[in-house]
Structure 1
């Protein structure tokens, strides 16, 4: 990665994994088994190296009693969190990481259930959006993206339909002539 601002945020674990797979597939298509083996070994060695480095960073941060804010910042960062998960180093369990991902969404949602066996996560809108439109498509996509970084064990997201809000009962003034014996308010004066 270069030092260009914004470059770090442009790559996530999913994109990087896909790019590595594409390179390995191109090497496999070349028909050179020795090159394929060397490339796969290179990926393994680099993964072990970076994983060991990340483990050391976590260990050093956790040793410092004043570093809880730094650790929180690391765990809350999409890129760092996805690297920690990828290497099996993230100190939070799946339930906590799912909650962290959901907290980052633009609209509040509740975890309505996660099935670790299937990877399915059910969500429901939390509270009322106020407009009654109930649009959740953007939230569902944002949830998928956040979960890919924080909790890749979530393989599918299902958004439950929002609960129907009770009908609005409008209370206002009585229609002309009601409650005045058939006279309008103008006649009463």
Structure 2
């Protein structure tokens, strides 16, 4: 069965939204009356946040009017994707987002990422298997884990954490050079006479 997208977070109805906007106006009005550096920082934070969300809305409008796949634009744009995740509105299910994050981590790690594989999610924790790849000197396990962890938590902030499990160890192969073949005694071949005896 295909994984279904997570349900969108409940929105605000019109009366609740109007109440929030009214409260916001009150808070901003109070902030204007507060002197000092702390108030200046708070006002700057509000202005910066407004600019960021304005940029996000502009990109969303461009996507809606460009004729492109809106879902693809929303989830492909880094800013919009971040805001969707922040508000629990990302349309892609967690499994899809984690697989995409693993692919991004592999791309960053190069040969060191060849052995990175998502096992699954257990109790809100993403489990990742690290197996020895073809480039043992390309990066330490700690460096690999840091990259993978950052990508997974950025793609799915609802995760409680990331756990790394070691790959199952396989029995070592026997080198061909250690395999010795038994050479038959030429005297025992058909037609050959053993020492002190007659031919068979």
If the TM-score is normalised by the length of the shorter chain, which range does it land in? 0.5 to 0.7
Structure 1 residues without counterparts, runs of 5 or longer: 1-31, 184-189
What's the CA shift for 1:39? 2.8
SS of the aligned residue for 1:121 comes to strand
Q: Does 1:114 align with 2:121?
A: yes
Matched, 1:180 2:180: no
Q: Which runs of 5+ in 2 are unaligned?
A: 1-33, 188-200
**1:137 aligns with one of 123, 134, 142:** 142
Instruction: Give the TM-score, by structure 1 length.
Output: 0.54
- Per-residue CA deviations over 1:69-120 (Å, capped at 9, x if unaligned) read 9728934x5x66445534656443433322221111221422223357xx53
In structure 1, C-alpha distance between the alignment counterparts of 2:93 and 2:75, rounded to whole Å: 17
TM-score, normalising length: structure 2: 0.51
Residue 152 in structure 1 maps to residue 152 in structure 2: no
Q: Per the alignment, in what secondary structure is the counterpart of residue 153 of structure 1?
A: coil
Higher RCO (CA < 8 A, seq sep 6+): 1
Counterparts of 1:113 and 1:160, CA distance in 2: 11
2-side partners of 1:91 and 1:174: how far apart?
58
1:146 CA displacement = 1.9
Is the counterpart of residue 123 in structure 1 residue 125 in structure 2?
no
